[in-house]
């Protein structure tokens, strides 16, 4: 593929959102269900706020707090302020997937710029990247907060083009979120979809250039222009 830079989505791609269940132990008998409901509502609110437009923007920390309160009410949880704070702070030390550090190290060794481009607000991203010990792996951590909207709005994908002065088609965008992969492809990036969960292909058009099951295959894919992982499934 030989891109000049590799742009990573954060949550679900580098960081395991399911690990936030550890911060919810003790507040519900089913932390995994709470986190699944929470994450789905968080994404829904981000899409809706982007559609509302500038008046609808609040940062991702607020979106995350609002989604938590909704999910907690669905499950009829009665929580103290301390419980709520502990759960929310789970996002500040969300665990990276096991293969992330080695994959980033390998990409950096080859001299490639690696960036994050995420819905996360800057302090959330900085905290998670630092807690994971990955701060020196990234050339830049870009947040949608700079443009007050959310993925998959094209203004977000423009951020990495502007930051690097490199056209989208010379960069590789990597996301585990199928809708994010489609948005980045529609914008013009080359795209790898990290289908960790064996999820069905999103019916959005704009299929990825390649699909991998985790990030360990990425350095090889990037270094060898002829190498393609499993080709994107036809629609």
Tell which one of 6, 9, 87, 173 touches ligand LAC (CB under 6 A). Answer: 9
Site map 153..182 versus ligand LAC, x via CB under 6 A:
------------------------x--x--
Site map 27..66 versus ligand LAC, x via CB under 6 A:
----------------------------------------
Structure tokens at 38: 């929470």
Least distance from ligand LAC to the Cβ atom of residue 120, Å: 5
Angle 187-17-58 from CA coordinates, rounded to 5°: 60
Please indicate whether residue 9 is annotated as part of the active site: yes
d(CA 160, CA 91) in angstroms, rounded, equals 23
Per CB under 6 A, 195 contacts ligand LAC? no
Q: Which residue's CB is nearer to ligand LAC, number 3 or number 120?
A: 120
Q: Which residues of 121-154 are buried (b: 16+ CB within 10 A; e: fewer)?
A: bbebbebbbeebebeebbeebbbbbebbbbbbbe
Q: Which residue's CB is nearer to ligand LAC, number 11 or number 157?
A: 11
- Token pair 């056209």 is at which residue? 167
Q: What are phi and psi of 118, to 5 degrees?
A: -140, 155
Residues that bind ligand LAC (CB under 6 A): 9-12, 118-120, 151, 177, 180
Catalytic annotation, residues: 9
């Amino acid at each position: 593929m030989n891109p000049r830079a590799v742009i990573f989505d954060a949550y679900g791609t580098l960081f395991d959102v399911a690990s936030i269940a550890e911060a919810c132990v003790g507040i519900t008998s089913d932390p995994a269900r709470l986190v699944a409901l929470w994450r789905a509502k968080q994404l829904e609110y981000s899409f809706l706020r982007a559609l509302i437009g500038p008046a609808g923007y609040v940062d991702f920390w607020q979106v995350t707090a609002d989604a938590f309160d909704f999910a907690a009410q669905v499950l009829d949880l009665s929580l103290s302020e301390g419980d709520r704070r502990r759960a929310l702070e789970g996002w500040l030390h969300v665990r990276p997937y096991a293969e992330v550090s080695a994959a980033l190290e390998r990409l950096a060794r080859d001299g490639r710029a690696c960036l994050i481009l995420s819905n996360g607000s800057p302090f959330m991203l900085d905290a998670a990247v630092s807690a994971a010990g990955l701060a020196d792996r990234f050339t830049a951590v870009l947040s949608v907060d700079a443009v007050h909207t959310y993925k998959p709005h094209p203004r977000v994908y423009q951020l990495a083009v502007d930051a690097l002065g490199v056209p989208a088609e010379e960069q590789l965008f990597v996301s585990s979120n199928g809708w994010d992969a489609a948005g980045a492809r529609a914008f013009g990036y080359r795209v790898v979809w990290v289908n960790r969960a064996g999820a069905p292909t999103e019916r959005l058009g704009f299929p990825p250039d390649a699909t991998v099951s985790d990030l360990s295959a990425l350095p090889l894919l990037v270094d060898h222009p002829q190498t393609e992982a499993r080709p994107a499934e036809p629609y």
